[in-house]
A and B are shown apart, each in its own frame.
Chain A
Amino acid sequence: MDFNALILFMVFSAVLSYLVSKSNIKLGAYSTILFSLISLIILFLGRNNIGNEFSLLYMNFRVTAIGWYFSLIMILIYSMTAFFNPYWMEKILYPSSYNFLYLFSLAATVGLFFAADLITLFIFWEVVVWSSTFIVPLGKSRKAAVVYFTISSIGSMATLFAIMFVYSKSGTFDINEAFKFLASEPLTATFVFFTFITAGLTKIGIFPFHIWLPLAHGNAPHTFSPVLSGGLVKMGAFIAYLSVGILPAYKAFSTSMTIMGIPFQIYLLMVLGAISIVVGTLMAIKQDDVKKLIAYSSVANGGYILIGILMMDQVTFAGSLMHIFNHAIASAAAFLTIAAIAHRTKTTKISELGGMIHKMPVSYVVYLISIISLAGIPPMGGFVSKWLIVQGLASKGLIFIAFAAFFGSIGSFLYVFRPLAGLFLGQLAPKYENIKPSTLVMKIPMVILASMSVFFGIFPKYLLETIGEIQTSIGIDPIMINGDTITTINGVLNTNKVAAIFGFGFVISLMIFLVLPKSRKVGLMDTYTSAEFIYTPELYHYANSFYAPFERLYKNHPSVEKFLGKFAVKTEELGILVNSLFFSHKPSVTVLWVMAIATLIFLGGVDI
């Protein structure tokens, strides 16, 4: 099937879903599952469309390998998350609009990835921003939507400016053609590079634009947070790719100062990526709300993705593209488990929960696999991508960036373990004694996403071969993969072998466990209590400020939010001053101005 039909179908299905929802809300929600799954299948089977060009209503599209890859991730996340929609219809204020916007934003993202000219790109970008802006306030907070839209607007406007600037110089909007002249003009290229990539930076949540993520992800409806974190954030990565891949950044900056072989303009953004990793990690460690915690972890992972894309080389770029996929499925799965828990318990605060493993074992296993992947531990997919990124950084000797990468990697053990211990393990509060496990429909996407994390961790070749084709199509060396052995300059990784060794170790350990004498099952409260008599499980549960000694070390940290808050207060004060001086009805102010003017006249000696 042609992809112009796909885009038309997706737009049309959004409208259809709205109409269905108007008559029957539940049916409308199920239609979002159906339509997104159909789109997924059409896209997946339509891989031979790569290279085609087509137009719709003055908008031009070109199906590229990388666009196809990004669209596939996006539709996958949307369709998996759609399984949760039916359970949130009663809780959302405008359910039919929600269904419409859900599918409409999906259609727009696909249009964005296939855009052949800058205007099409910008139109679809704005459609996504607007439709998601209207979805976010359907959750808990309106302020979140305002912050989200403001930050997005900063990016959009900068990018629009870059687009117009490029058009005025080159006379064309075609993405491939427009940027070509920049290769010989380093100064203009620097200017366009920084303005054009701003939209990408705001969307990935790169420091200092990261403040919208915890607010929007934390407050959006539980069914939309996975899409925001797993899907929409990745649009920023696509813009970042356009800024270094299509805009010939390395060629244009070839004469500028380099740091470890990287032009300083690009290195500067890599430093921002590194700061995002550190900031995201430190902030995630101290969050009590799981959704905010995963949002900050998205900030950190966005840093990895940005660094990898900016490198535009054989290993790190491949690692980054793979990390986009791995982070998308893992963070969506983690958000979905939290949504499943919130569906039963009505809260996402770690300190209010505990012992959920005894009630929702499937959610626990899915969460465990996802966070192992997020933290980059074998045998999950996240390990392969982080391994590639770290190998790439090491081969270039970028130790300061690598420091951030390791800090984020080991720091992620800390923040992923916090919900594990506080929310899933530990004491089960009596008020949750009778809650039911998540429904079967909810389990489907969670289990699919978790199994994908495992599958691509053991057999990464299915992903890396596609990534290799993308690399060939944009003119860089493809990642070397032979069977399941990935080869880089500094080392080899055979994921099959690692998984087999892990399995072997596990089996031996299991056998040791089984031959030893049986143990007696006791309750959770039957523990060592230092001879105290404790009858309240809630009090015997450690979940508040989990890393207290560590959090204390950076409790007085500076933050962008505080800075912006102060800036807002100062602006308001200035406004009040101006208002009281010029627009006041008080006689004293009038007298003041009369005096001031009189003084001026006397001083200036003006003749009246």
Chain B
Amino acid sequence: MNIMNFIYAFLLLVFVFLFQTSITGINRKVMARLQRRRGPKWYQQFIDIFKAMSKSSTTHGWIFDFGVIMALGGIMATTILIPIGPFKAFADVDNIFIVSYLLAVGMLGMAMSASGSGNPWASIGVSRALTNMLAYDVPFMVLIVSFIYAFKTSSLSGFAALQQGAGILGWNFFRFPLGGIVALICLQGMLGKKPFDSFIAPAEIASGPMVEYGGRHLGMLFLLHEFSTFIEVSIIVHIFFGGGATPLEFMVKYALLYTFMNIISGVFPRFKIDQAVKFYYKVPLALAFIQGLIIIFTGLGVS
């Protein structure tokens, strides 16, 4: 760990911001075409972020500010842990548990800031967000435990390296199809896309956690959203789609997977929060257990 690591980390953050924001912009276009609209320009997302950041805003006390700083800080720290193809800013920190728990710092910071605004709608939104988290994370983690047992590694790059060299059929998504389905369903929940988007409720922003934000707070939360999207999709690309032997390969896989999730989101209605919990604890959890037992007791697909 020396100064170069931190410079790489900074460059990685800048790169992820440019890359993910462009992809989001393109996806807004894709979504528009799906709904037979013209759609905004591909760089509209940049305009939105910088515009929000340049506007004046109001604050509801120190915790309202501190929460936003802690949230963005936590999420950016988590982004630094993610390898892009073979490139890593720091060695030996891409452990899946470190990533998923450090991600929680960001979530907690945002929740704190939202509740700190004093607006009950924000608190209600946070309660939905945390409930949603309890739904999607547990099946995914059960799956990950069986993977760790089988592959004797828990680092993202370790998972990716084990899948490379055997072509597309070497990807865990095809070797463990049940697990792959679970992972994609859970990814949809992590991203907060339909049918699991009731916690942020983008269409009814006034009754979600974001109700009180404007100006620089909102701009920073836009940034946070881009980074957390990157983390969540990257985890799945590394564990189920073989990561990338080169950064470019990783970026292509990433862009395709994200667009695919977005298109799915485009055609779904929304679950209520308790329906989402029930769904996750019925279908994906059962599939995750079946896949886990197959891996642990038969070793099917492992070697």
Q: Which residues of A contact B (CB under 8 A)?
A: 260, 355, 357-358, 364, 368, 372, 375-378, 383, 386-387, 390-391, 393-397, 399-400, 402-403, 406-407, 410-411, 413-414, 417, 420-422, 425-427, 485, 489-494, 496-498, 500-502, 504-510, 512-513, 516-528, 530, 540-542, 546-550, 552-553
Encode B31-73 as 1/0 by CB contact (under 8 A) with A.
Answer: 0000000000000000000000111111111010100111011
> In the complex the two chains form, what is the Cα distance from A521 to B177 in whole Å?
53
Does B123 lie within 8 Å of A421, measured CB to CB?
Answer: yes
CB contact under 8 A between A517 and B60, given known A501-B77, A546-B127? no
Residues of B within 8 A of A506 (CB): 69-70, 73-74, 77
Q: Is the interface of B mostly helix, strand, loop or mixed?
A: helix
CB contact under 8 A between A524 and B61, given known A378-B105, A502-B102? yes
Does A497 lie within 8 Å of B101, measured CB to CB?
Answer: no
Does B76 lie within 8 Å of A505, measured CB to CB?
Answer: yes
Does B56 lie within 8 Å of A517, measured CB to CB?
Answer: yes
Does A524 lie within 8 Å of B118, measured CB to CB?
Answer: yes
Residues of A within 8 A of B153 (CB): 490-491
Does B152 lie within 8 Å of A489, measured CB to CB?
Answer: yes
Give me the 10 closest cross-chain CB pairs, A-B, nearest first: A505-B77, A506-B73, A524-B118, A509-B73, A542-B120, A516-B216, A397-B149, A505-B76, A491-B154, A542-B123
In the complex, how many angstroms separate the beta carbon of B31 from the nearest chain A beta carbon? 27
Interface window among B19-27, B88-96, B178-186, B254-262? B88-96
> In the complex the two chains form, what is the Cα distance from A547 to B124 in whole Å?
8
B252 interface residue, CB < 8 Å from A? no
A399-B289, A402-B141, A527-B118 given; 15 more Cβ-contact pairs under 8 Å: A368-B112, A383-B101, A393-B145, A421-B123, A425-B115, A497-B90, A502-B77, A505-B78, A506-B70, A519-B56, A522-B59, A542-B124, A550-B134, A550-B274, A553-B274
> In the complex the two chains form, what is the Cα distance from A321 to B20 in whole Å?
42
CB contact under 8 A between A505 and B75, given known A378-B98, A549-B272, A552-B274? yes
Residues of A within 8 A of B13 (CB): 508
B11 interface residue, CB < 8 Å from A? no
Contact of B127 among A494, A525, A547 (CB under 8 A): A547
Q: Which residues of B contact A (CB under 8 A)?
A: 1, 6, 9-10, 13, 53-61, 63, 65, 68-70, 72-81, 90, 92-93, 95, 97-98, 101-102, 104-105, 107-108, 111-112, 115-121, 123-124, 126-128, 130-131, 133-134, 137-138, 141-142, 144-146, 148-149, 152-155, 206, 211-212, 215-217, 219-220, 223, 272-274, 277-278, 289, 292-293, 296
Task: Write the chain B residue with the least CB distance to A398.
Answer: B145
Does B60 lie within 8 Å of A357, measured CB to CB?
Answer: no
Does B108 lie within 8 Å of A421, measured CB to CB?
Answer: no
Contact of A490 among B55, B117, B148 (CB under 8 A): B148
Residues of B within 8 A of A497 (CB): 1, 90, 92-93
Does B60 lie within 8 Å of A397, measured CB to CB?
Answer: no
Give the A-B contact count at a CB cut-off of 8 A. Answer: 268
> In the complex the two chains form, what is the Cα distance from A513 to B216 in whole Å?
7
Q: Can you give 28 contacting A-B residue pairs, CB < 8 Å?
A: A357-B116, A378-B102, A387-B98, A393-B145, A394-B154, A395-B149, A399-B149, A406-B137, A410-B141, A421-B115, A425-B115, A425-B123, A492-B92, A497-B93, A502-B73, A505-B79, A508-B73, A509-B72, A516-B53, A519-B58, A519-B216, A520-B58, A526-B58, A528-B206, A540-B118, A541-B120, A542-B127, A552-B274
Residues of B within 8 A of A399 (CB): 142, 145-146, 149, 289, 292-293, 296
CB contact under 8 A between A406 and B56, given known A490-B148, A492-B95, A530-B206? no
Contact of A420 among B78, B115, B148 (CB under 8 A): B115
